[in-house]
Amino acid sequence: MELLGERARHTVVSLDGKVGALSRLSPRVRLELAVPPRGKGPVRTALTTADHVQRHAPDLVLTYNWGSIEAVLGASLTRFPRVIHHEDGFGPEESQTPLRRRVWLRRALFPTVKAVVVPSRQLERLAVSVWHQPEARVRYLPNGVDLARFRPRRDPRGPGPVLIGHIGRFRPEKNQARLIEAFAGARLLGRAELVFIGDGPLLADAKALAAKLGVADGVRFLGNLTDPARAYRELDVVALSSTTEQMPLSVLEGMATGLPVVSPAVGDVESMVSAANQPLIVPIGPGPALGEMLARVVDDPELRASVGRENRAHAERTYALDACLSRHMKLYLDVAGRS
């Protein structure tokens, strides 16, 4: 939206009523907030979407994730031909096994859209093999990262414990409990600190677990930060413990900041990081592997530095934000007939 500037006019429908992200747009973006459906229910959402499409006569409709699947249905009711649907990942309810009803609905509705955009190879394979979409309809468009904003610190950090950072919401699929357990099990207290950036419904549970395991003095909870890029530059390692991911932005941001990444092999994480970082990606599931890898990285400053340099170089070659935006923009304008 920011890239298009005054060349486009946008109508935004927030199905959950949350619009905080719009504060990041400049005044030059022409934007109208449409009234979301009153009350919940797939029929109401579909009919409201159909009404929006008929009244606004857009050049393009973009829908995002499973929560907007009824909007895809609404656009199809009007026979609107220019819809692009985006699938970015799953909640805990679909992290292990696709839900049959959702699979059926995707199979039924995706033939009405021009493209299904996915940010990971894992989702691309799923869209073809499970959702039965033709390869030509599925578009793999990887995420990008702002390399100027997320950049390595200029000077080495002073003496002190190694800082292991986790950036993300406290939700079941992020499984921060496993990271706290790994930190405690590897006996890193004193040699390292675990820093959490983010908020969410499971924050209190995470604090209670750190206290229960006796590592509360080595675990910090910073909440939401207005500029996480500065916080990344204070870290030494980025760690994930998720049960499901696709192409997590925290991995890209950590790589761009010149940090090593320790994570389970969820989603595309192992293929996202540099070749030097791939040995630091551990198997999915319980066990001591995550803690053991964290201990290895904490105790080896040369490994942290060398992997961090390789990650930054890999991010520059592969994940520049300008290239990411250009790929999306080309698809949008092509489908809209405005190339």
**In sequence order, what DSSP letters do the residues of 122-135 get, joined into one string?**
HHHHHHHHTS---T
**pTM reported for the whole predicted model:** 0.88
What percentage of the chain exceeds 90 in pLDDT? 79
3-state secondary structure the chain: CCCCHHHCEEEECCCCCCCHHHHHCCCCCEEEECCCCCCCCHHHHHHHHHHHHHHHCCCCEEEECHHHHHHHHHHHHCCCCCEEEECCCCCHHHCCCCCHHHHHHHHHHHHHCCEEEECCHHHHHHHHHCCCCCCCCEEECCCCECCCCCCCCCCCCCCCCEEEEEECCCCHHHCHHHHHHHHHHCCCECCEEEEEECCCCCHHHHHHHHHHCCCHHHEEECCCCCCHHHHHCCCCEEECCCCCCCCCHHHHHHHHCCCCEEEECCCCHHHHCCCCCHHHEECCCCCCHHHHHHHHHHCCHHHHHHHHHHHHHHHHHHCEHHHHHHHHHHHHHHHHCCC
Query: Given a cut of 90, is residue 174 above it in pLDDT?
Result: yes
Mean pLDDT calculated for residue range 262-289 = 94
Query: Given a cut of 90, is residue 306 above it in pLDDT?
Result: yes
Mean pLDDT calculated for residue range 44-66 = 91
Query: Given a cut of 90, is residue 281 above it in pLDDT?
Result: yes
Structure tokens at 277: 């970082």
Mean pLDDT calculated for residue range 42-56 = 89
Read off the amino acid at residue 78. Answer: T
Structure tokens at 42: 């797939």
Query: Given a cut of 80, is residue 320 above it in pLDDT?
Result: yes
Cα–Cα distance between 217 and 160 in angstroms, integer? 14
Structure confidence at residue 16 (pLDDT):
83
Domains located in the chain, CATH noted = 5-144+321-336 (3.40.50.2000), 162-318 (3.40.50.2000)
Query: Given a cut of 70, is residue 39 above it in pLDDT?
Result: no
Structure confidence at residue 240 (pLDDT):
97
Structure confidence at residue 43 (pLDDT):
87
Cα–Cα distance between 5 and 86 in angstroms, integer? 22
Structure confidence at residue 319 (pLDDT):
97
Structure tokens at 247: 């192409």
The tens digit of pLDDT for each residue in 111-168 reads 999 999 999 999 999 999 999 999 999 999 999 999 999 999 988 777 889 999 999 9
- 13 vs 97, which has greater pLDDT? 13
Cα–Cα distance between 298 and 163 in angstroms, integer? 9
- Please say whether the beta carbons of 31 and 8 come within 8 A: no
Cα–Cα distance between 197 and 208 in angstroms, integer? 17
Query: Given a cut of 90, is residue 300 above it in pLDDT?
Result: yes
337 contacts: CB under 8 Å, gap ≥ 6: 59, 82
Query: Given a cut of 90, is residue 67 above it in pLDDT?
Result: no
Structure confidence at residue 112 (pLDDT):
96
Mean pLDDT calculated for residue range 273-294 = 95
Structure confidence at residue 95 (pLDDT):
64
Structure confidence at residue 287 (pLDDT):
82
Structure confidence at residue 239 (pLDDT):
98
- 44 vs 332, which has greater pLDDT? 332
